[in-house]
Chains A and B, each alone.
Chain A
Amino acid sequence: EIVLTQSPATLSLSPGERATLSCRASQSVSSYLAWYQQKPGQAPRLLIYDASNRATGIPARFSGSGSGTDFTLTISSLEPEDFAVYYCQQRSNWPLFTFGGGTKVEIK
């Protein structure tokens, strides 16, 4: 079973700062990785798919990179609405989907 480990668990930053979130897979997932944002009381929102492609309507300050086992979500300059929890998700033969444990981006 492929395990996704996200780090750090919590990231304390100020608006305008750059956020770098990591997702590491226990074995290669090629580029089969997506990123989601979730705010309290809301459903997750797709940000990035296939490691580096922004979903429809996602601002350019969000970018994804990586392949194999190491992936990064970067928010170039944090806006007030970006403080949330972020999850990575991989797709493989089994289990079909796995989510990482999440990184909370909080206001410093």
Chain B
Amino acid sequence: EVQLVESGGGLVQPGGSLRLSCAASGFTFSSYEMNWVRQAPGKGLEWVSYISSSGSTIYYADSVKGRFTISRDNAKNSLYLQMNSLRAEDTAVYYCARVIPGRYSYPLDYWGQGTLVTVSS
């Protein structure tokens, strides 16, 4: 069974840092591209970052570029999101999600349950 389990969320002050993790199981993690997607309370979905299966290609949304860093450890079947210089507008549930290989729209077929990040003083 495919599982994605996020952890690392919590309450952090503006300007602070947090590192999210996503533990993958039930599939060959090293073969899949991965993403982070977030959802502010009561709002829609916002793509945050993408990483290729090898980790060699990375993209960020403009809203987080220069502050967030995506990475992965294929040996540990894990995806990470290092978040620095956090702002109130980064408050959201953060999901990790897997891309179906070879499909034009890069559809996200499996999602974790999400981890809540709250940025507040």
Task: Check B109–A46 contact: CB distance below 8 A.
Answer: yes
Q: Which of B69-98 contact A (CB under 8 A)?
A: 95
- CB of A99 within 8 Å of the partner chain: yes
**A101 close to B (CB within 8 Å):** yes
Q: Does A30 contact B (CB under 8 A)?
A: yes
Is B106 touching A96 in the complex (CB atoms < 8 A)? yes
Cross-interface CB contact of B107 among A49, A95, A99, A101, cutoff 8 Å:
A49
Q: In chain B, residues 43-74, which have Cβ atoms closer than 8 Å to a Cβ of chain A?
A: 44-47, 50, 59, 61-62
Taken together as a complex, chains A and B put the C-alpha atoms of A44 and B95 apart, in Å, by 9
* Contact for A50 among B35, B104, B114, CB less than 8 A: B104
Query: Using a CB–CB distance below 8 Å, which chain B residues touch chain A?
Result: 35, 37, 44-47, 50, 59, 61-62, 95, 100, 103-109, 111-114
Q: A-side interface residues toward B, CB under 8 Å?
A: 30-34, 36, 38, 43-46, 49-51, 53, 55-56, 87, 89-91, 95-102
- Going nearest first, the 4 A-B pairs with the smallest beta carbon separation are A49-B107, A97-B47, A43-B111, A91-B106
